Structures are given as structure tokens and as C-alpha cells.
Amino acid sequence: MNTDTSIKKRSLGQFFTRNDFWIKEHILNFIRTSGTTIAYDPFAGSGDLLKVAREMGFEKYEGLDVDSSLGWGFNDSLLNVPKISGSIIITNPPYLTNYSAKRRGIYSAVEKYFSTCDYDDLYQLAIEKCLQNDFGIIIVPETFINSGFPKNRLVSITIIEDQLFLDTENPVCVICFDNKIKPYGKIKVYKGNEFIGYLDYFEKLRRIPRRNRYIKFNSLEGQIALRAVDTTNPYKPILFMKPSEIDYDLRGIKHSSRLITLIEIGADFDLIDKIIEYSNNLLFDFRKKTRDVLLSPFKGNKKNGERRRRLDYMTARAILEDAYDLASNSAKTNLL
Ligand SMILES: C[S@@+](CC[C@H](N)C(=O)[O-])C[C@H]1O[C@@H](n2cnc3c(N)ncnc32)[C@H](O)[C@@H]1O
């Protein structure tokens, strides 16, 4: 049921950031080298991020919020974030997709924001407004990495696998930005404390299908089953397999299924096993090279603490196309 409190909590994204394990050494270094003296949260909420910033020795703290009951100066930061010179934004803005606002019946509370932009989530509008400041650190959904949002102002992206919020399991990353436009080859990507590569390295590994084969997802006629999401068991990851091997009633597959699917592919029956084998090899290699950065995060972690991932069907299609080529080439070689 939508009570007044739950409408407010959802439409204003009032999930507070009580944990501080998002502060990694390289993020602290970024704050130090920025030379800023004011910590500034334009979505200040209960002030949790500013409280963490207190331990970092800033000279001043500034908070704003649209909810006057929280005791900050009033500002609608999804319309405008006033620039404060000498400050660094440290914030966790509201997250709310257009789709989810409609589904929860709270769209009218946020329509004025979505009507000003083409973004599908409020956090992206919040980033755009925060970029009016010279420096900032913003905690955003990890799906940001795969979004088309321009990333040239970023200094780094840090994937945080530990669970950050007390009351939501939203997978997040931390983006740091300064006032300089940079090529993606200069933007660092971290997993926790570990530097894993520059953004252009990951962008080059993105898989785009050629659409040169008949491949249909969510087809009850499919010859290949795909568990498109990691289970919590690290030994049962995303996998292509024969339909008889999947522990799921495939009659439940619908047009909209995103986690388990049956794939129909225009290939001879005797190629299917090889296509499955090559698809799994290519996927394994892709995950290793990309460190999973290009796969969508899925709520909750595996039992070993790593984030669960989902294989989107565009990447799956590109993998299947290559697997098809490898399987048919190896079949031809065997005939010679
Ligand atoms: C996710 S909470 C984060 C609070 C704080 N940064 C933290 O992590 O503890 C988002 C906050 O943004 C505020 N907010 C939502 N929409 C806003 C808007 N348009 N302008 C300013 N603040 C807004 C909410 O009231 C809420 O306090």
C-alpha cells in the first residue's frame, strides 16, 4: 500500500548512506588533490555523507534538500545545483526510473523532472546538475557504466560490491569528476580498491551483434537454453546449455523473460552442441577480460561476496553469432 511516508521515501529517493566503505584510498586522494575546502551535498537527506566528510577535515559543510523538514536550506537540485567555488560535491542523489515511478503510482510527483530531459532515471538528471560544480563524488547505480550518459568529465568509476544501503540492495558505483574534459583512455575504473583498467579498454570490449544469423530469444521452439543470471552459488553462473539440462520449467518462458530463456537459432541440429560449447567459452573469456564490468549487476551478491550479473540479450546474441561461426568452421575443417 502507498502510504504518505512510502510515497515520499520513493519519490524523493530517501535511502540514506550509513556505511562508509565506499571511501577507498584513491577516492580520498582525489579529494586531497582537488584542493577543495568545502564538502557539499545538494541531496543532503539525513546528512550521513556530510557526517562521513567531517572526518576528512573540510573547513565547511553545505547541505541542501527539497524536503524542508530535514533542516537544510531548501533547493530543488534536480532543477539546479548552485555552484559553490572551492567545494566538492559528495552525494547520493535519488534513484528512480520513469518506469518504476509509473508502476508505483508516484509518477505525478516526479513528472516535472522527466519532462525536462530524456533520461530514464532521476539519478542521471542529478549527475547532469551536479556537473555544474567543478568537483564531485556521486554514488550512483552501477547500471550507469552501461548507460549512454557522457562520461568525459569523470576521473574514475569505482564499483562497490559491498552492500551500501541498509534498506535497499541497489548495486552501486562511485563516480568522481573534476572540471576537465578527458578522453575515455584517461578515466580509471576500479573494483573496490583495485584499479582494473581505463574506461576505453572496457568500451572496446563491448559486444555488438552483427545480426547476420536467425536468432530468436524466448522462443518455445528454442534448441538452446540460457540461464542469463548468476545464481548465488558461485559454481552455477550464467550458462548456455541444452534445454533438458536446465532446472526450470521452460513452459514458463514468456516474451518478456529476461533471466531464463530458450533461444531458437537457424543452425543444423548437429551444430547445436558445439555452439553451446563455444558460447560458454566465449562468455567465460569475455567475463575474464572485462572483469564483469560490462554485464548488468543483479540484485544481491553471490555467496562468495562477488556481485551477481545478468547477461543482456544483445551481448548474448553477439556471443552466439561468433559461436555459430566457430562451430560451423570447425565442422567444415573436420570434413576436409
Ligand atoms: C538517497 S537520499 C541521500 C541522502 C544523503 N545524500 C545520504 O546519502 O545520506 C536522497 C535525498 O535527496 C533528496 N531529494 C530528492 N529530490 C530532491 C530534489 N529535487 N532536490 C533536492 N533534494 C532532493 C531527498 O529528500 C533525500 O533526502
Q: Is 123 within 8 Å of 94 (Cβ atoms)?
A: yes
161 lines ligand 1 (CB under 6 A): no
39 lines ligand 1 (CB under 6 A): no
The percent of residues in the chain predicted with pLDDT above 70, rounded, is: 95
- Residue 165 pLDDT more than 80? no
More confident call, 167 vs 189 = 189
Indicate the burial class of 40 (C-beta count within 10 angstroms; 0-12, 13-18, 19 or more). buried
Mean pLDDT, residues 199-212 taken together: 96
Look up residue 197 and give its amino acid.
Answer: G
pLDDT of residue 95: 94
Q: What is the pLDDT of residues 45-91, one digit of tens each?
A: 999 999 988 888 899 999 999 999 999 999 999 999 999 999 999 99
- Other beta carbons within 10 angstroms of residue 226's beta carbon come to 27
215 lines ligand 1 (CB under 6 A): no
pLDDT of residue 207: 96
More confident call, 327 vs 23 = 327
pTM: 0.90
48 lines ligand 1 (CB under 6 A): yes
46 lines ligand 1 (CB under 6 A): yes
The percent of residues in the chain predicted with pLDDT above 90, rounded, is: 78
Enumerate the domain spans of the chain: 4-205, 215-335
Mean pLDDT, residues 201-228 taken together: 96
Q: Which fold has domain 4-205?
A: Rossmann fold (3.40.50)
CA–CA separation, 1 vs 300, rounded Å? Answer: 24
Angle in degrees, 0-180, between the axes of helices 313-335 and 272-290, rounded to the nearest 10: 130
* pLDDT tier, 1 (very low <50, low <70, confident <90, very high otherwise): very low
Based on its alpha-carbon atoms, the radius of gyration of the chain, rounded to whole angstroms, reads 23
Q: Find the 66 Cα to ligand 1 centroid distance in Å.
A: 7
Closest ligand 1 atom to Cα of 17: 8
Mean pLDDT, residues 303-325 taken together: 94
